[in-house]
Amino acid sequence: MLIYYIFPARARYAIAQIKSLVTLHLQNNAIGDDGANEIAKALAANNSLQSLNLSENQIGPHGVEDMADALVENSTLEELDLTGCRIGNEGAEALAVALESNDILQELALDQVSPGIHDRIGSRLKLVKDELNELSEAAAEALRTDQKVRWGRAKLMVVGKAAAGKTSTIRTLLNQPFVPEHVSTIGIDLMLMHTRDWKERKNTGDADLGEQLAKYKYQNIAKHDDLDQSEAQSSKDAARRVPDAPRAAPPAISASSASAVRQAPPQSPSVRFDKEVIAKAVNTPLRIRVMEQADKEEEETSFTIWDYGGQEVFYALHHLFLTQYGVYVVVFDMREVLGKEHFQEKLKEEEFAKLASQDDAIQTLRFWLDSIRLHAPGVEVALVGTFLDQVSELDQHDDIQEILEKKIFRELDGDPKIQRNIWKEEFLQFFPINNQDRGDVDGHVARLKDQLTKSVAEKAFVKEKVPLRWSYCLDRLLQQSDPYMRFGDVETLAVTKCF
């Protein structure tokens, strides 16, 4: 998206609020230090802007210092143009210092700056470019030799009765603002998010290819460093034990060390992986996190959230998409399970009339749990009770727990496995939440996120290593502009572009 010639205050709004904003042109807008300060505030929190043109403005050293502070926090900006501004050596020095903590910016246009500072900035930008080039080359080689990495993906399937609050529950999990207007989900809605931050990833291109490619390189480097250190220590220990031992022939590779030696499979002569696709994929801020976490155990998971429409007309189709490769959230209205008659005096007549009877609410819960048990046996399920603002007493929660145990849990016999919500001295097999409040005073939402994350982290399908070529192919599929593809076209793309 391009925006030309707008006021700084509006620029701050655009940078902060427009999630798809990639390029912003603000050249020759008479922006001074105050305007630069406004833009810097938004830039520090922005996670989409890649190119910003502020040339030919009246930004001085103080304004640039604010911009420099923002660059330390920003994780997406790749190009910044400040030519024709009045930053001087003082402002340039602030930028040079900031770039020491920034691994993303690749192009910075300045003028009227001393050669020494200019060279320091240029050297730093070159390091970032060189690192990206090395990563691109390693990624291309990994694809060519058909290397594998941890899959790290799962489905988070949210089901339940219509108007129970499924979509609002998803917005609560993603820490998005509450939307009071009820809009029914038609069929199924899909969203991407990651357990590292529980934030929706707006772009389908954020489907992990760059992160997967970075993992292959940096985790291998970490493993080789550990192996080198281990071998060096073993050599020192051997030398201390037998100082005068004669030189022996090189030892044969043992079964344990042989696993570290990879035999590259033959390359398919017909496949030519697109260098531009690879370069674009690895140019992701996530590569920095991967680099920093390379020597640690992987526990994070990417979730594809499936928001199932609750209207009965869709029930005949939903079972086609129920799968064992994920975790389920079954949402119910606590007022209905407790008994809507308890709320007749508290609700408006129209709202009260929309509530289902306790029997109907229990029947719906049974339907979904039975469906999950049939089509995805052995999975874990988190029950979420909504309208905590109206069902807030602990005694009410205990009553709901007793009703669920008596009318549902005893018949399940442990399948599916119902997640537990334990805090202080309380124990429930559901998570009461208020989708209108982001305070989470009792910590139910935090515990729900934690349980959902843990439930899939150790699953075999998440830990399984899959070919990088599959992630590459998935990325190519997601980049298609058509809303659907014929199977023959998918097959052709896979055979000619990926495998």
Amino acid identity for residue 362 in this structure = I
DSSP string spanning 240-285?
HH-TTPPPPPPPPPPHHHHTTS--PPPPPTT----HHHHHHHH-ST
Name beta bridge partners: 327.
Answer: 156
Among residues 93, 89, 129, which one has the least CA distance to residue 111?
A: 89
> Distance between CA atoms of 208 and 206, rounded to whole angstroms?
6
pLDDT, position 265? 41
Give the global pTM: 0.77
Task: Tell me the CATH architecture of domain 153-195+300-461.
Answer: 3-Layer(aba) Sandwich (3.40)
> Distance between CA atoms of 295 and 118, rounded to whole angstroms?
35
pLDDT, position 210? 87
Beta strand 148-150 pairing with 417-418 = unpaired
Burial bucket for residue 243 (CB in 10 Å: 0-12, 13-18, 19+): exposed
Beta strand 326-333 pairing with 421-423 = unpaired
| Alpha carbon 298 to its chain's center | 14
Q: Do residues 376 and 416 make contact, with C-beta atoms less than 8 angstroms apart? A: yes
Q: How far is CA 406 from CA 333, 371, 403, 412, 426, in A?
A: 18, 20, 5, 11, 19
Q: What contacts 24+ positions apart, CB below 8 Å, involve 108-111?
A: 108/79, 108/80, 108/82, 109/55, 109/80, 109/81, 109/82, 109/83, 110/82, 110/83, 111/83, 111/84
Among residues 104, 89, 94, which one has the least CA distance to residue 69?
A: 94
Evaluated on CA atoms 251, 252, 256, 261, the torsion sign reads positive
pLDDT, position 182? 65
Q: Structural domain boundaries of the chain?
A: 8-113, 153-195+300-461
Q: Do residues 314 and 166 make contact, with C-beta atoms less than 8 angstroms apart? A: no
How many Cα neighbours within 13 Å face the side chain of 27?
14
Task: Tell me the CATH architecture of domain 8-113.
Answer: Alpha-Beta Horseshoe (3.80)
Walk along the chain (499 residues) and give the pLDDT tens digit of each residue.
444 445 555 666 667 666 668 898 999 988 999 999 989 988 888 878 899 999 999 999 999 999 999 999 888 899 999 999 999 999 999 999 999 999 899 999 999 899 999 999 999 999 999 999 999 999 999 999 999 999 999 999 999 988 899 999 999 999 988 887 767 676 678 888 888 889 887 665 555 788 889 889 888 876 655 545 555 555 555 555 544 444 444 444 333 333 333 444 444 445 678 898 898 888 887 788 788 777 777 778 999 998 887 666 666 777 788 899 999 999 999 999 999 999 999 999 999 999 999 999 999 999 999 999 999 999 999 999 999 999 999 999 999 999 999 999 988 888 889 999 988 777 899 999 999 988 898 899 999 999 999 999 989 999 999 999 998 998 888 888 787 889 999 999 888 888 7
Q: Do residues 37 and 27 make contact, with C-beta atoms less than 8 angstroms apart? A: no
Give every CB contact of residue 434 below 8 A, 6+ residues apart in sequence: 386, 387, 388, 389
pLDDT, position 202? 66
pLDDT, position 174? 93
What order do you get walking across the sheet with 23-25 strand by strand? 23-25, 51-53, 79-81, 107-109
